[in-house]
Chain A
Amino acid sequence: MGKIDILDPLTANQIAAGEVVERPVSVVKELVENSIDSGSTRIKITLRDGGKERIQVSDNGSGMSKEDLAVAVLRHATSKIKSIYDLNNLATLGFRGEALASIGAVSKMTIASRTENSTVGYALQVIGGVRSDPEEIGCPAGTEITVDDLFFNTPARKKFLRSASTELSSISDLIGRIAMSRPDIAFELLHENRTLIKTPGNNNLDQVVFNIYGSEVLKNMKRISHKHFPYITGLISLPQLTRASRHYYSFFLNGRLIRSQELAEAVEEAYHTRIPQKRYPIVIIYLELSPELFDVNVHPAKLEVKFRDIGTIKDALIKSINSVLNNPLVSIPEIRVRSRKKSIESLQQEIFKEKDKDIFFEMPNVYYINNTNVKGQLKEEKAHDGGEAFQEINVQNMSQENSGDSSFISSLKVLGQIEGTYIIASGPQGLYIIDQHAAHERIRYEKIRKSFQKQPSASSLLAVPITIELTPEQSIWLVDNIIYFADIGFVLEHFGQNTFLLRGVPRWNLEGNSQELLLDLLEKLGSGSGNSVMEIISEEKLFSLACKSAVKGNSFLTEADINFLLEQLKLVKNPYTCPHGRPIFIILTPEEIKRRFLRS
């Protein structure tokens, strides 16, 4: 007898299940994507024990007929593509037809479904890949899939599940992002009878963001849009709102949540020097591309996407972010009073009042049952607390009129200086407070940058070469970029394997430690920020040069000094933040002053 057997279908399904179904969160993802694909407008996810004990996804979508239900749980059963040719024109989220079969193979799954036209629904059970026949039941239109005891028949896999709270947090993160991808669908996530996420599904992205990230975040988010190819819309955070990691980047391609190193790089390039180093913005970016311009079938998890023309997309993204951030009223943080304690509803109202008019997606609004109640309450609230909402609107409107230039600086009238550190001026938006060091630093930075890039780079040769041992990875980066290193003044010689001799160091770094500089540069190259050696080096060097040479705090300036400083500030590309990303201006608006004096 031969050694090679064909696996029986059950085993084959269990193995394949590994690819799609790794953790409870992957089950949730597959099921929710199916619900979305079936045209649902309401999707409810109920979990028990972080999804380890039970995951239930119910929707009001098209549902399945008895016949469909019977074949749905078979491998490669899909309603989404008929042949390989359809793959290129895919507009649905799932397509491989593996999900239900894979989940059924490793859990106790119950599917109940009814189409709108049918008077009765049907239910079937799949336990460890063994399928029962569909039975007639009564149920609402749509589909409800219950997955109990995940991995009950694969103990090894079950053992590797993480804690319920870890699983829960990945699921709620996922649902948050899916909800952002489809503001037109009402999502509800419940864990042990507690509501974690609830979005209205009224096609208002702001309300979704409010529900997921809260009001403080939403207040500091701005719309971006790129109105011709490639179509980009989204929300980005203002420079004063940052996070410590890239976790808050959400990219959606045709409604599909994707992960993209390239898009993340573009975002960081746009925010570069506007926010402090090692801080990251919150971005929610929607891309609309026709399906032949990208490829998603990279991995069954379907997160990574290959773009045909990433350059154009990156440029467009950077441009649209910049056009928002270059707006003076966006980039200058405003002083606010901490708002008096309000109910969530009134906050919500306050925030949406101004933005409600814009319809973010050109999809029909979906009626959401809970909304009526909220709105009713709100009207009352508003009557009591109307003033603030209107001020918000004013600011917003002005910011739209006054788009991106530094001409407001010309209209500033200098009133004086306090603490030898801050310049006080009156201007179109109220009282401007200017950090003189930050302002000067920005001016110096842009000037030095120009002069540095012009200079020829001389190498100071070494009597005793420095031997540098690199990791194989680093030496690849070094060899790839060796010309650029030579350009900035490193004289390097390959000394076999991953060892290099440093025979000459950049003359401009004579005082510094060039070996460390080289290693730092390699580190930065390797981290894939996408910047060239020249860019990295000028940043590194220029930040500190600009900072050291700029006028310090606590030095008293004459009126002429201040005017000259502002004059120069007018000429720089980004007059809003210093090279480290700290603000140069803050504004105290007349409204704010009024409020402080309790004049209403």
Chain B
Amino acid sequence: MHISCNKDELVYGVQVVSRAVSNKNTQPILSGILLTAENNKLTFCATDSEIAVECAVDVEVIEAGSLVVPGRYFTEMVKRLPSGEINLKSEDNLGLTITYDQSEFFINGFSADEFPSLPEIDENVQGRISQGLLKKIIRQTSIAASNDESRPIFTGTLMEIIDDRITLVTTDTHRLSVRKAFWQGNTDEEKISVIIPTKTMVEISRIISDEEEPITVIVGNNQVCFNIGTITFFSRLIEGQYPSYRHVIPDSSRCRSKVRIKTKRLLEATERASLLVRDELKEKVSLIKLNAQDDVLKITSYAPEIGKIYEEMNIFLEGEPMEISFNSRYLLDALKSVDSEEIYMELTGSLSPGIIRPVENDDYIYLILPVRTD
């Protein structure tokens, strides 16, 4: 293998795939990056057997070939190279010589044959969605996923595809986030639903841009694949049955109090109230009580050893007065991710789930379970 390229191209490729480089030592080959040079393209590839990322950049290929280089050393070295033309050359599978200016750096490598081949997707459905929109809906849902590995289902994001609608759902059982969006897809099946590790979703949202440019999503039986031109991202799916989230969402006809609130005002009040955390008991979340009556929302929080807070704000209340307690963090997450100047809070009782959604539409629903105090 022998190529000539620019430093920036190398850095770009290395940074895209480095997130998939395994840092566990069980399979040393997985700590490497596979470099493949052909057709005037250099392809970078890394996998930790959970996700796999492939990225191609334009280079001048003098001699085609492939090699695996140790991920960490290669990445750190590439970042520190001087700008300008760089030559990568490997005579055999023993290592790679990086030549820059009048200098050279040699690093040991592994044979490309040892590197696992990327999964082949048995395609069930393929569709396109704008990168900016996908980024947003991942942000709105990933917050509600669980980190508790003992129940893997809840660490995942449910992706449901029905006709031209794609829905992402997450829950850690304390709150539930449901985000619907349109996409352009083709499927013969009535409904596709898969569970994707939320970590994967977050990684993808980091790679993609805020632009309108589309990203292609391919869903297979055991894998999902995202493709934006030069970058391909594979991830395994989480096996299992996602709980039926629709049953959890109270029917809007049963809603007894519908409160229209200015998002920023409530967010700021909640942030202040969140400070009253019982530090002594190492709680990370404060308890916040909302009381809606006569177009006024009272917000209180009380921690015996620290202090208390009382705030009032004007709201628009349809229906009965209502009092409900929430864990402040869950409420904060909702208010931060709703992306709307005003929200509706729909309540059906102080022990029933409360719903937060933007006033403009029903595309986003964030449901919080209350705290029972007595």
Chain A interface residues toward B at CB < 8 A: 447-448, 451-452, 454-456, 458-464, 466, 491, 504, 507-508, 510-511, 513, 516, 541, 545, 548-549
Contact = CB atoms under 8 A, between A and B. Distances in A.
Interface centre among A461, A464, A510 (most CB of B within 10 A): A464
A454 B351 CA distance: 24
Interface string B266-285: 00000000000010111111
Nearest to B249: A463
A464 B248 contact: yes
A379 to B, nearest CB: 62
Interface in B281-336: 281-285, 287, 304-305, 325, 327
Given A463-B173, A463-B175, A466-B173, A510 B353 contact: no
30 contacts: A447-B280, A448-B280, A448-B281, A452-B281, A454-B304, A455-B281, A456-B373, A458-B371, A459-B372, A460-B174, A461-B351, A461-B371, A463-B175, A463-B248, A463-B367, A466-B173, A491-B372, A507-B287, A508-B281, A510-B283, A510-B284, A510-B285, A511-B284, A513-B148, A513-B150, A516-B150, A545-B281, A545-B282, A548-B282, A549-B280
Contacts of A448: 280-281
A507 B327 contact: yes
B285 A462 contact: no
A545 B243 CA distance: 34
Interface centre among B175, B282, B370 (most CB of A within 10 A): B282
Interface string B349-374: 00101000000000000010111111
A121 B173 CA distance: 85
Nearest to B285: A510
Contacts of B353: 461, 463
A460 B327 contact: yes
Ordered nearest first, which 5 A-B pairs have the shortest CB separation? A461-B369, A458-B373, A459-B372, A462-B173, A464-B243
Contacts of A462: 173-174, 369
B141 interface: no
B297 to A, nearest CB: 21
A504 B372 contact: yes
Nearest to B283: A508
A458 B325 contact: yes
Contacts of B148: 513
Contacts of A460: 174, 327, 369, 371
Contacts of B370: 461
B131 interface: no
Interface of B: 148, 150, 171, 173-176, 243, 248, 278, 280-285, 287, 304-305, 325, 327, 351, 353, 367, 369-374
Nearest to A541: B281
A463 B374 contact: no
B327 A463 contact: no
A516 B369 CA distance: 21
Contact of B327 (A510, A541, A545): A510
A571 B202 CA distance: 51
Nearest to B148: A513
A504 B230 CA distance: 47
A488 to B, nearest CB: 13
Contacts of A447: 280
Contacts of B278: 455
Contacts of A463: 171, 173-176, 248, 353, 367, 369
A447 B279 CA distance: 13
B257 to A, nearest CB: 18
Nearest to B172: A463
A508 B372 CA distance: 12
Interface centre among B304, B351, B371 (most CB of A within 10 A): B371
A345 B371 CA distance: 69
Contacts of B283: 507-508, 510
Nearest to A507: B371
Contacts of B374: 456, 458
Contacts of B372: 458-459, 461, 491, 504
B75 to A, nearest CB: 34
Given A455-B281, A458-B287, A510-B327, A464 B171 contact: yes
A464 B148 CA distance: 15
Contacts of A466: 173
A510 B285 CA distance: 8
Nearest to B147: A511
A462 B305 CA distance: 28
A422 B373 CA distance: 44
A464 B327 contact: no
Contacts of A549: 280, 282
Contacts of A455: 278, 281, 304
Interface centre among A448, A463, A508, A511 (most CB of B within 10 A): A463
Given A448-B280, A456-B373, A463-B171, 16 more contacts: A455-B278, A455-B281, A458-B371, A461-B372, A463-B173, A463-B367, A504-B372, A507-B285, A507-B287, A507-B327, A507-B371, A510-B283, A510-B285, A511-B284, A516-B150, A545-B281
A250 to B, nearest CB: 41
A464 B170 CA distance: 12
A418 B373 CA distance: 48
A516 B283 CA distance: 19
Nearest to A489: B372
A510 B282 contact: no
B240 to A, nearest CB: 13
A513 B283 CA distance: 14
B172 to A, nearest CB: 9
A510 B174 contact: yes
A84 to B, nearest CB: 57
A504 B280 CA distance: 23
Contacts of B325: 458
Contacts of B287: 458, 507
Nearest to A460: B371
Contacts of B304: 454-455
A472 to B, nearest CB: 24
Contacts of B369: 460-463
A516 to B, nearest CB: 7
A540 B174 CA distance: 23
Interface centre among A448, A458, A504 (most CB of B within 10 A): A458
B181 to A, nearest CB: 22
A458 B289 CA distance: 12
Contacts of B171: 463-464
Nearest to B279: A549
A513 B370 CA distance: 18
B243 A459 contact: no
B158 to A, nearest CB: 12
Contacts of B373: 456, 458
A558 to B, nearest CB: 23
A447 B281 CA distance: 10
B126 to A, nearest CB: 31
A158 B111 CA distance: 68
A91 to B, nearest CB: 55
A516 B327 CA distance: 22
B149 to A, nearest CB: 10
Contacts of A545: 280-282
A57 to B, nearest CB: 59
A337 to B, nearest CB: 43
Nearest to A542: B281
Contacts of B281: 448, 451-452, 455, 508, 541, 545
Contacts of B173: 462-464, 466
A515 to B, nearest CB: 8
A549 B283 CA distance: 12
Contacts of A510: 174, 283-285, 327
Nearest to B330: A460
Interface centre among A451, A460, A508 (most CB of B within 10 A): A460
A464 B245 CA distance: 8
Interface centre among A455, A466, A491 (most CB of B within 10 A): A455
A105 to B, nearest CB: 59
Nearest to B287: A458
A500 to B, nearest CB: 16
